[in-house]
Amino acid sequence: MALGEFDLIRRFFAGSALQHPFNQLGIGDDCALLNLPDSYQIAVTADTMVENVHFFADVDPNALGHKVLAVNLSDLAAMGAEPFAVTLALTVPKVDEFWLQAFADGFLALARQYRVDLVGGDTTSGPLTLTVQAMGAVPRGQALLRSGARPGDLVFVSGPIGDAGLGLKIRKGLPGLNNELALQRMDRPLPRIETGLALRGIASACIDISDGLAADLGHILQQSDVGAVLDWDKLPLSAAVSDYIATSSDWTLPLSAGDDYELCFTVPAAAAAKVPAGCHCVGVIEAEPGLRMRRAGRIENIQARGYQHFA
Ligand code: ADP
Ligand code: MG
């Protein structure tokens, strides 16, 4: 007989002991119970992934479990929050034990890596849909907002951009390219938690790059009421992305491609020396609104439109 809802939860999701000291009671009662010291605020976020919108039906379920958690932890990283608990609302068309085991393995492996507990959720039958809600702790008043960038601040990214977008093109059949690193970055992004924590008290604004640098930096610019000029030569690009640009002349990929989950943040020039190693300064904030790019001796205006549902 197929597994019922309760057996399914117990077998795949309720196995492990709680790891984080803030979590008192996890899966098994009507609610989880979490305790935070008074000096902290809770950063809360949720992200949904829907089959055929966010992933293909034949995606590796282990990678999917990893990614649905990673994208949520990335939002906590962008706030400078330390993740401690997540919930999972899982809608599956049928009980496929191999699929569920691989999905849970991918999800729980990443959770263990960051000492995050799966403390509850919901399990229903229907079209494959995954919703994760993530909670992180941040010392009161220290969260990294989108609204704090000021003219003269330097713009940074935490690592190479464009690889996940290249991975998507490869998976969709871009001829002549089979780049493992790009596919890996699309399937198994790593949330930049350590970088987010290190930026507390240093960054004036921060966001994670889920929709592309232009669109996501655009949110900082809009909410901070400023503009920016980026320097094309300073963008950190992998060899594969550089090759793609050289052969396709589609140079907008690192600006428009999402899914890299690097952080984009701004830092007052006086604090630039405190930025963690591995981050790259790519431009500067200006009072004049809009996003511009200095490239081949010219300054071009950049349209900041990432992927938008319903658009
Ligand atoms: P209720 O009917 O009270 O909502 P459920 O039967 O939905 O309770 O869930 C029982 C317990 O299992 C609860 O603690 C709930 O948070 C947890 N749970 C259900 N589904 C999941 C899931 N996919 N992942 C983690 N915990 C889950
Ligand atoms: Mg329920």
Residue type for 256, please?
S
Report which of 127, 131, 124, 93 is spatially closest to residue 5, judged by C-alpha positions.
124
Residues of the chain with CATH 3.30.1330.10: 5-139
Instruction: Determine the residue of 3, 8, 9 to mutate for testing ligand 1's pocket, defined as the one with the most ligand atoms within 8 A of the Cβ atom.
Output: 9
CATH number of this structure's domain 154-301, picked from the four choices 3.90.650.10, 3.40.50.10860, 3.40.605.10, 3.30.420.10: 3.90.650.10
The gap from C-alpha 193 to its chain's centroid, in whole angstroms, comes to 10
In tens digits, the chain (311 residues) has pLDDT values of 567 788 888 888 997 789 999 999 999 999 999 999 999 999 999 999 999 999 888 899 999 999 999 999 999 999 999 999 999 999 999 999 999 999 999 999 999 999 999 999 999 999 999 999 999 999 999 999 999 999 999 999 999 999 999 999 998 888 877 889 999 999 999 999 999 999 999 999 999 999 999 999 999 999 999 999 999 999 999 999 999 999 998 888 999 988 999 999 999 999 999 999 999 999 999 999 999 999 989 999 997 655 555 55
Q: How far is the CA of 117 from the centre of ligand 1 (A)?
A: 14
> How far apart, in whole angstroms, are the C-alpha atoms of residue 172 and residue 147?
36
User: Binding-site residues for substrate, please?
Assistant: 54, 259, 307
Residue type for 218, please?
G
CATH superfamily name and code, 5-139: PurM-like, N-terminal domain (3.30.1330.10)
Name the residue with the closest Cα to ligand 1, atom 10.
Answer: 28
Q: How far is the CA of 66 from the centre of ligand 1 (A)?
A: 20
CB-count burial class (<10 Å; 0-12, 13-18, 19+) for 51: middle
> How far apart, in whole angstroms, are the C-alpha atoms of residue 86 and residue 133?
5
- Residues 6 or more apart whose Cβ sits within 8 Å of residue 79: 43, 136, 138, 143, 144, 145, 196, 206
* Residues with C-beta less than 6 Å from any ligand 1 atom: 9, 13, 27-30, 88, 90, 118, 120-123
- Nearest ligand by distance to the CA of 10: 1
> How far apart, in whole angstroms, are the C-alpha atoms of residue 61 and residue 100?
8
Overall pTM surpassing 0.85 (yes/no): yes
> How far apart, in whole angstroms, are the C-alpha atoms of residue 159 and residue 120?
33
Residues of the chain with CATH 3.90.650.10: 154-301
